[in-house]
Amino acid sequence: MNPGTAFLCAAAGLLITTAVKLWALRRNRRDPLLRAVTATLFVGALLFVTAAPPNLASINEIIGIPNIAAPIVYSIMTAFDGISIVLLIHWRGNDDARATLRQTRLCLAAYAIVMVAICVLFALGDAPVERLRDLDTYYAGTPWIREMILLYLVAHTVAAVTMTVFCLRWSRQVPGALKAGLLLISTGAICMLGYDLLKYTAIVARWLGHDWDTLSTDVAFSLAGVSAFLVSAGFLLPPIGQGAGSRWRALRRFRRLQPLWLEIRPEIPSTSPPPMPWWRPVERRLMQRERDIFDAVLRLAPWFDQATGAKVYALALAERSPSRLARSEADASVLARAVIQKGCVRPVVTPGNRWTLSSTEDSADLVAMSAAMLRSPRVEVTRQAMAPAEHGA
C-alpha cells in the first residue's frame, strides 16, 4: 500500500470514529473531555487527508499558490499537537477547575500563535518550486521558509516531549485499558520525536552541503503516519476498552442471574414488558432482569418461611460452607418454596415466622443466590419436599 492510500485509509477510520463521538457529543455537549476527544480525532483525520501527497498537489492547484499546502499541513499538525496536550490535561483531571482551564487556554494560545507565525513566515518567504515530498530539505536554506520549517518542528518536538513524559509518568499510576492507552500515546510521541530528529538531521546535512534527504522524505514521512495513528489509537483505547469491559461484566451478570430469574418467572405479571430481545443493550436487559427479580421478591415476601431458611442455613454451615454462601442457599431455598406455595394458593406465613432475604442487598450475594438455585442440592430438596403439596392442591 502506497503512503497516500495508507494516509487516506487512516483518515477514513478516524472520520468514522469522529462521527461516533459527535453523536455522543449531542447528548453531552458540556463534557470538556468528550469535546477534546472529538476535536483530536477530527484534526487527526484532517492531518491524514491533507498530508497525503496526491492531496498536497491538489491543494496547491486549487489555491493557485505553489507549496501553499505546506503551511496548511504544518498548521494542522501544530493544532493536533496542541489539542492532544489539552486532551491529556482534561483526561488526567484536576481538582482545581480554574487551573485546568488556565492550562488549556495557555496551551491553545501558544499553539495558535505558532500556527499564525507559520502562515506569516510562509507569506514572507519565497518558495516558487513545488515540492511535495522534500520541501523541508529543498528550502532548508531559504530565508523565512527555513524559519517556518524550524518553527513547526520545534513546536512538534515540545509536544512530543511533553506527551512522552506526561504519559509515561501517569501510566505508572493506572491499570488496564487506561495504562495501555497511555503507553500507546507515549509510543506515538516517541515516534514523533524520531520524526523530528530525522528532519533536523536532514536539514542540518543540507546546511553542511550533504544530501541526506531520504531521512526526511522516506523514513520521517512513514513515522509521521505511524505516530499520528498511535496517538489517536491511544486516546480511543481507554473509552473503548472500558466500555467493552463494562458490557462484558453486565453480560456475565445477566447470564448468572438467569437461574434466579427463571425461578421467579411465574411471578412476573402478564402485563409487564416482555424480556428485551438479544440485540438491545445488555445494560438495559440486565436492568429489566434485576427489576423483575426485586419485584417478585416483594410479591413473594409473605410466603417466606423462617423455618425453611433456618434449616437450610444450619445444614450448609454443618457442611463447612462459608456463612455468606450458606445464607445464599437459605435465601434460594426460601424463595423456591415461596414460589411453589404462592402458586398453590397456600396461606401466607405469619409475620413473626417470616424469613428476611439478605441476598438482595448485595450484588454479589444476588448472583450467589442465583447460582444456588441451579447447583445447591438443598434447594432441590426443598423443591421436592414441596412437590406433594403442589400435587395435593
* Tens of pLDDT, residues 17-27: 788 778 777 77
Residues 6+ apart with CB under 8 A from 4: 52, 53, 54, 55
Cell 450475594 belongs to: 365
The answer to whether the CB of 271 falls within 8 A of the CB of 385 is no
Distances in whole angstroms, Cα of residue 241 to Cα of each of 2, 72, 150, 269: 31, 34, 38, 38
Q: How confident is the model at residue 5 (pLDDT cuts 50, 70, 90)?
A: low
> CB-based burial of residue 234 (10 Å sphere; 0-12 exposed, 13-18 middle, 19+ buried)?
buried
In 3-state terms, what secondary structure has residue 112? Answer: helix
SS3 278: coil
Distances (CA, A) of 141 to 135, 157, 220, 260: 11, 21, 19, 77
Phi and psi at 305, nearest 5°, equal -95, 120
Average pLDDT of the segment spanning 194-211: 93
| Confidence grade of residue 390 (pLDDT, cut at 50, 70, 90) | very low
User: With 60 as the cut, is the pLDDT of residue 393 above it?
Assistant: no
| Spatial contact of 217 and 332, defined as CB atoms under 8 Å apart | no
DSSP 337-385: HHHHHHHTTPPPPPGGGBPPP-GGGSHHHHHHHHHHHHH-HHHHHHHHH
- pLDDT given for residue 3 in this prediction: 55
**Cell numbers at 244, concatenated:** 467493552
pLDDT at 203: 94
Q: Report the C-alpha gap between 133 and 55 in whole angstroms.
A: 12
**What type of residue is 183?**
L
**For 97-113, b where at least 16 C-beta lie within 10 A, e where not — what string?**
eeebeebbeebeeebee
DSSP 3-state of 44: helix
Amino acid at the residue 10 = A
The pTM assigned to this predicted structure is 0.68
392 has a pLDDT exceeding 70: no
Q: What percent of the chain has pLDDT over 70?
A: 95
Q: Which of 97-106, 286-295, 384-393 has the highest mean pLDDT?
A: 286-295
List, in order, residues 6 or more apart from 5 with CB less than 8 Å away. Answer: none
Mean pLDDT of the chain: 86
Query: pLDDT for 28-80, tens place per residue?
Result: 777 777 777 788 788 888 888 888 778 888 999 999 999 999 999 999 989 98
- Confidence band, pLDDT 50/70/90 cuts, at residue 287: very high
Closest residue by Cα to residue 2 from 46, 44, 41, 54: 54
Radius of gyration (Cα) for the chain, nearest Å? 32
Burial 36-59 (b: 16+ CB within 10 A, else e): bbbbbbbbbbbbbbbbbeebbeeb
Question: Beta partners for 354?
Answer: 305
Q: pLDDT value at position 388? A: 53
Query: Is a pLDDT exceeding 80 seen at residue 387?
Result: no
Average pLDDT over residues 227-243: 77
Phi-psi region of 127 (alpha: psi -120 to 50; beta: other; left: phi over 0): beta
pLDDT band at 99 (very low <50, low <70, confident <90, very high): confident
Q: Region 324-330: what's the mean pLDDT? A: 91
Query: Taking residues 125-140, what's their average pLDDT?
Result: 90
DSSP state of 142: S
Mean pLDDT of 227-252: 80
Report the largest interatomic distance among the alpha carbons of the chain, rounded to a whole angstrom: 105
> What one-character DSSP code corresponds to residue 322?
-
DSSP 8-class letter at 357: P
pLDDT at position 198 is 94
Query: Which sequence spans correspond to the domains of the chain?
Result: 3-253, 270-392
Whole-Å CA distances, 211 to 48, 128, 142, 145, 195: 27, 21, 16, 19, 17
40, 77 Cβ separation under 8 angstroms: no
Calculate mean pLDDT across residues 8-24. Answer: 76
Give the right CATH number for 3-253 from 1.10.3470, 2.60.40, 2.50.20, 1.20.1070.
1.20.1070
Higher pLDDT, 155 or 54: 155
Residue 376 is placed in which grid cell?
445447591
By C-alpha distance, which of 70, 211, 213 is closest to 146? Answer: 70
